[in-house]
Amino acid sequence: MPLRELERLQAVNRFLTLEIDKEKELNDIVRMAAEICGTSTALITLLDDKTQYIKFKVGFDRETTNKKDAFCAHVIEQDQVMMVPDALLDGRFSSNPLVTDNPNIRFYAGAPLTTQDGHNLGSLCVIDQSPKLLSTLQLQMLEVLSRQVIYILEFEISITILKKQFTEAKNSEIKLRSFFESSKSCHLLLGRNFEILAFNQSLEKFISSTFDHTISEGADIRSFVHKDHFQSFIENYKNALDGNSAVSENYLHYEHAAIWWYMTYEPAYNPAGEIIGVSFNATDITKRISQEKLVMAQNDSLKKIAFMQSHELRRPVSTIMGIMELIKSEDYVTDREELLVLEKAVEELDGKIRMIVNHT
């Protein structure tokens, strides 16, 4: 087995054994994918060497399928959305038991779940029992949602490892250094009095480059919190010490850049179940937010175009059709007044078409 595939299977196994706290968020993404794409079914799947595991779903009653029958097995071989408009007309799937028998798949579209290491673990996919085509916007939204799925899953793994390592460190008085350095997110362990217990290289580099300061264990974290985020940080930190988890998205301006952060605050426990601190994690999601805004802007333009097509184009078209019927009834003999009305309707139609072109 190639080393790359072995690494992918190891990553899949880590996610399969993960206890996921954010099931609601993932179920919401599945429902949103089905709604956006107008399909009866949407799934989040993970694939090992033999089996497709269906972790979250809507409109589907199976927990697993054979990998050899899985449409998603084709998705993980590429790095972009795959769409099958009609499975019966596609030689790869026309004799597939999932097509010829229950659930009688005819349409499929899936976006790969790609980790930061570049491993395709599975897919976010939508399926239906009748052929169809998705618009470019719908395909883009499916891809955006697939990235959100992997953000959540990778974040869950980070939190799980962080909690485990933190407990082990408190028991054996070992520093948590090796885990932190592997993550691109900023990870931070805080004591009950705002003191910094441990941090990773990503956070250290960010503090150094942004504030021209050096962060150190034992320092007060409040010295490094952005002024626009200070009050929210204190409130969420205290809530975590009270046993409550918190999540926030914050847009913060720095001297050289503005960053969208996805932040979580989790209580950290010792083996006796006592809260001994807070685990704080921050991920830069600026790229994701920018792409979502671009898709939303494109969607607004499409809505405006659709409105013009269904409302504003109807009047001049109706006028033209009416004049033409009148001309036909008069055996194609017309007078100047009718031609002027026809000319005005054509000019109005031309103007509306120009407006649509400008919106695109």
Q: Please state, in angstroms and rounded to a whole number, the distance separating the CA atoms of residues 185 and 176.
A: 15
Pairing of strands 107-114, 51-58: unpaired
Q: Is the peptide bond before 2 cis (omega within 30 degrees of 0)?
A: no
Own/partner long-range contacts of 190-196 (Cβ < 8 Å, ≥24 apart): 190/221, 190/237, 190/277, 190/278, 190/279, 190/280, 191/276, 191/277, 192/241, 192/275, 192/276, 192/277, 194/220, 194/221, 194/222, 194/237, 195/219, 195/220, 195/221, 196/220, 196/221
Domains (range + CATH), the chain: 3-150 (3.30.450.40), 175-287 (3.30.450.20), 290-359 (1.10.287)
The rounded mean pLDDT for the chain is 83
Please state whether the predicted TM-score (pTM) of the whole model is above 0.75: no
pLDDT for the residue 174 = 46
Spans in the chain with pLDDT lower than 70: 1, 166, 168-183, 292-336, 338-360
Cβ atoms 355, 305 nearer than 8 A: no
8 A C-beta contact, residue 87 and residue 75:
no
- Nearest residue to 122 via CA among 63, 158, 74, 87: 74
pLDDT per residue as tens digits for the range 201-223: 888 888 888 878 888 999 999 98
**Res 338: pLDDT:** 59
